[in-house]
Structure 1
Amino acid sequence: MPRGKFTNHKGKHRRFTNPEEIEEQMKREEKERKWREQQGDDSSEEEDEADKAKGDSDSSEEESESDGEVKAKGVENLIEVENPNRVQKKVKKLSTLNETVKVSSKPELSRREREELERQRAHANYQRLHAEGKTEEARADLARLAIIKQQRAEAAKRREEERQQKEAAKQSKTAQVQKALGKKAT
């Protein structure tokens, strides 16, 4: 034991059950159970279950929590009490579950997901209207496009005229050269 003013008192009074004692207790319970079976006591089965529950208190508590069965505390089993805050497990039938699944096959969307879907639908609708030329932006684009087409057509016409003028000038020049050469040569 440590000397000084700080001592740890945890675990001083712990006492563990000896395995031999546990085996003796189990043998005694087995004998009692056999004796009751020979006597033909029907109520002994209920007492057996109660004895087992006392012996295995830790495991029975875990099992009762997992099964959802709640032991009555105090006089709770004698008096019916309606507690509105107490949630009781309701047994659901498979047929009703299948119906609810069929009804709720359309999943509920969160606000963000709904907004995203609406945004995508609006964008697709806008693209469709834009392709048909029904939006202001599409009209402006088409007007700009018409102006550009007109300017390009005028530029192509002008280039064609210039090319024809250059060809005519070239022909007239070659004709002059031929004429001048022809006159000098003769």
Structure 2
Amino acid sequence: MAGLEPLSTGMYYLDNFKMDERNLNQLSRIRGEKIGYVSQFSPMIPKLTVFENICIPHFFKKKDEIKSYTERIKFLSNKFEIYHLLDKRIEKLSGGELQRVGIARSLVNKPEIIIADEPTGSLDDETAISILNYFQEMKSLGLVIILATHNNMVAEQCDSIYQLKSEGLFITH
């Protein structure tokens, strides 16, 4: 769904773009413009700082957007309590800090959709609730959030719950 790989079967549309007909470059462009992706393990570039890793989606933006982009990074890093880490190299961070950096990076371009794989998996309950509350705020502003989780507390915050079993996909809420 995030456009990281071409579809193997089926099809889906995103804003009238038939995603199964797009090549990897086109999927990357669409993802950069419309989709924020939070990976379970938040892959980062170890030699870069937190600020630089959050900036990665900006590499696809116009140079005249740099000031507003820096303000957005400051806002998100304050929101997720990682502002004090902006100058630290990624390799020095804990798992929970990396997860919050990944979430900030996914939101920095103001995407229309967030696709999150276990976005709170490395976080303590208090931080997880804070992230989920922010997701609720963003949802109320029109952001679509699709997340995968094994955590019942996280699932209970969702409007709809789909459960994937060996027999198929089931709507449980």
TM-score range, shorter chain: under 0.3
Question: Which structure is richer in relative contact order (CA contacts within 8 A, separation 6 or more)?
Answer: 2
**Going by fraction, where is strand more abundant, 1 or 2?**
2
The structure whose Rg is larger is: 1
